[in-house]
Structure formats: C-alpha cells, structure tokens
Amino acid sequence: GNSVTQMEGPVTLSEEAFLTINCTYTATGYPSLFWYVQYPGEGLQLLLKATKADDKGSNKGFEATYRKETTSFHLEKGSVQVSDSAVYFCALSDWGTGNQFYFGTGTSLTVIP
C-alpha cells in the first residue's frame, strides 16, 4: 500500500540554521510527492512538489528532491527564519491507486531568534 513516514518532532532551531526534515515513502505505483505547511490555526498550504524521479521541487528557499532509489523526499532549507515556524507534512499522491493523498504525521518546527 501507500504510506509516508516523517521524522519525529518537534524540531527547534536557531535562526539561520540549516533545516532537514526526513521523509520516506512506500507506494505501489508512481507517486507524485509533496510538502505541505500548516501555520497555527490554518489549513494546509502547498510548499513544493515533484512529480517524477530526480525532480527537485523548490519554493521560498525550501528544496526537496524525489529520490526513487531511496524512496525519499527530504525537505531542506539553508537558513531558516522565525517565520518558518510551522508544522510540515510530507504527502504522496498515487494516481494509479485512488483519488487521495497520503500524509505523514507532520513535523513541528520552531525557529528561535
């Protein structure tokens, strides 16, 4: 079946530190991979995506590369800001096996000045 596993949180970093949030997946087909971000009291916002192996998604300084050989899609940012504090969700969509997204459990990030 399809599933997503994210690193456990919470993660606390100082401003300008390097961020990595690990994500691995299991899929029966050829999934598209996504990172969503959720700010307190809000819904989910699409952060970036990759639709095939070796694609790199990027947005707002965040990057993630679709690695089929390691079934991973790790989120990275070179220098985090206080405004990046949020919960980050890794997700996959496998068009071949149904009309739904599979989400990880989320990783809470707090950036301190």
Partner 1 sequence: DAGVTQSPTHLIKTRGQHVTLRCSPISGHKSVSWYQQVLGQGPQFIFQYYEKEERGRGNFPDRFSARQFPNYSSELNVNALLLGDSALYLCASSDNIRDRGLYGYTFGSGTRLTVV
Q: Which parts of this chain interact with partner 1 (CB under 8 A)? A: 4, 32, 34, 36, 41-46, 49, 51, 89, 91, 93-95, 98-106
Q: Which residue, 84 or 89, is less far from partner 1 as judged by CB?
A: 89
DSSP string, 55-87: -EEEETTEEEE-BTTTTB--EEESS--GGG-EE
State in angstroms the smallest separation of the CB of 15 from partner 1: 26
Residue in 37, 58, 49, 44 with CA at minimum distance from that of residue 93: 49
State in angstroms the smallest separation of the CB of 78 from partner 1: 24
State in angstroms the smallest separation of the CB of 2 from partner 1: 11
